[in-house]
């Protein structure tokens, strides 16, 4: 890992992190006294699966990808860590080797907290312990969702399912993906090639299901997207297009009584 320059860590900087702002002044002072600021370039390997290093990270800016390696050497993306999040908590809690590899997707700034100090936060601050339990619950659910998604046999449908999984309800009820992952990031998550992701997204755009707006994806036809993910019909005749098949499925669902 790249060596960090000497940067003063202030209380204000620490309290900008959602987990650390739950600390009282005494625990916050301990974190400030023992932590260090890290400035790492893109593609830096921050943690390696199986390693025994013992520290907790808080991401100030940039993006980090959590990946696992299959037996054939291929990467599978498990998560993307964004600013305001922390990482490395599992090994800090149980003191076992790292369960995944973390790679900086962009230049990153982060705070590195020694494991012994991090464990004091988990075990001495009830508000932090509660937040950690909720975080671990969300993490387990997310990993389960992504594993199920990766089990879908068709690569196009895996991409459609990932888009459907990432969408959130925005202002006015519009379904969007803010700061959408890059095609390469999506490819790693669904265990396919970037070219396949590109073709799948292009198909969604052609059907009018999604619309690209800079780094945002707008879901214009959420019912069609859901049908693309959920349809388990046998292959259609060659002259029946994907659009016609999906529209038939959506119309059938709308006619069925609830």
pLDDT category at 234 given cuts 50, 70, 90 is very low
Say if residue 132 is in the same domain as residue 163.
Answer: no
pLDDT category at 244 given cuts 50, 70, 90 is low
Say if residue 163 is in the same domain as residue 139.
Answer: no
Residue 69 lies in a domain: yes
Range name among 33-42, 55-64, 211-220 with the lowest pLDDT average: 211-220
Question: What CA–CA distance (Å, rounded) separates 11 from 202?
Answer: 46
Kindly report the number of other CB atoms within 10 A of residue 221's CB atom: 19
Tell which of 143, 172, 193 closes a domain: 143
Residue 149 lies in a domain: no
pLDDT tens-digit map of 150-196: 889 999 999 999 999 889 888 888 899 987 888 888 888 888 889 99
Quickly list H helices, the chain.
11-15, 25-34, 89-94, 115-124, 126-150, 155-166, 183-189, 194-206, 222-230, 242-255
- Say if residue 243's pLDDT is above 60: no
Percent of the chain with pLDDT over 90: 53
**CATH number for the domain including 61?**
2.60.120.10
Residue 148 lies in a domain: no
What pLDDT does 170 receive?
A: 82
pTM of the model: 0.72
> From edge to edge, which strands make up the β-sheet containing 168-169?
168-169, 175-177, 216-219, 210-213
CA dihedral 105, 144, 203, 64 (to 10 degrees): -10
Question: What CA–CA distance (Å, rounded) separates 193 from 184?
Answer: 8
Tell which of 143, 174, 209 closes a domain: 143
pLDDT tens-digit map of 52-73: 999 999 999 999 989 887 677 6
pLDDT tens-digit map of 190-213: 888 899 999 999 999 999 999 998
CB-facing half-sphere around the CA of 139: CA atoms within 13 A: 17
CB 221 within 8 A of CB 208: yes
What pLDDT does 240 receive?
A: 46
- Closest listed residue to residue 200, CA positions, set 156, 166, 164, 158: 156
The two three-digit tokens of residue 89, written as one number: 């908590």
Residue 2 lies in a domain: no
Task: State the helix-helix crossing angle for 194-206 and 155-166, rounded to 10 degrees.
Answer: 70
Tell which of 84, 119, 143 closes a domain: 143
Average pLDDT for the chain: 85
Q: Which domain holds residue 20?
A: 11-143
| Residue that is written with structure tokens 């349809």 in the block | 231
Looking at the 3D structure of the chain, how many domains does it have? 2
The two three-digit tokens of residue 58, written as one number: 């808080």
- Say if residue 245's pLDDT is above 70: no
pLDDT tens-digit map of 106-150: 999 999 999 999 998 888 899 999 999 999 898 888 888 888 888
What pLDDT does 4 receive?
A: 46
What pLDDT does 238 receive?
A: 43
What pLDDT does 123 receive?
A: 87
CB 157 within 8 A of CB 229: yes
Range name among 57-66, 72-81, 246-255 with the lowest pLDDT average: 246-255
Percent of the chain with pLDDT over 70: 85
**CATH number for the domain including 237?**
1.10.10.10
What pLDDT does 256 receive?
A: 56
What pLDDT does 142 receive?
A: 82
Residue 243 lies in a domain: yes
């Amino acid at each position: 890992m790249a060596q960090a320059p000497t940067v003063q860590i202030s209380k204000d900087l620490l309290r900008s992190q959602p987990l650390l702002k739950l600390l009282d002044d005494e625990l916050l002072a301990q974190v400030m006294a023992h932590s260090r600021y890290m400035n790492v370039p893109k593609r830096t390997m921050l943690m390696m699966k199986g390693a025994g290093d013992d520290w907790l990270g808080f991401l100030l800016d940039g993006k980090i990808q959590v990946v696992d390696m299959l037996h054939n050497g291929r990467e599978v993306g498990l998560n993307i860590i964004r600013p305001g999040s922390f990482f490395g908590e599992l090994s800090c809690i149980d003191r076992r080797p790292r369960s995944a590899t973390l790679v900086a997707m962009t230049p990153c700034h982060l705070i590195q907290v020694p494991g012994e100090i991090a464990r004091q936060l988990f075990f001495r601050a009830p508000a932090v312990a509660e937040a950690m339990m909720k975080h671990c619950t969300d993490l387990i659910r997310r990993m389960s969702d992504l594993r199920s998604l990766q089990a879908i046999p068709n690569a196009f449908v895996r991409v459609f399912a990932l888009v459907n999984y990432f969408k959130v309800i925005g202002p006015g009820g519009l379904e969007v993906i803010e700061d959408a992952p890059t095609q390469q990031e999506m490819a790693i998550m669904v265990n396919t090639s970037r070219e396949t992701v590109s073709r799948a997204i292009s198909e969604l755009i052609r059907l009018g299901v999604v619309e690209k707006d800079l780094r945002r994806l707008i879901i214009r036809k959420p019912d069609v997207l859901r049908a693309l993910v959920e349809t388990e019909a046998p292959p259609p005749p060659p002259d029946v297009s994907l659009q016609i098949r999906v529209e038939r499925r959506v119309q059938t669902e709308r006619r069925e009584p609830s």
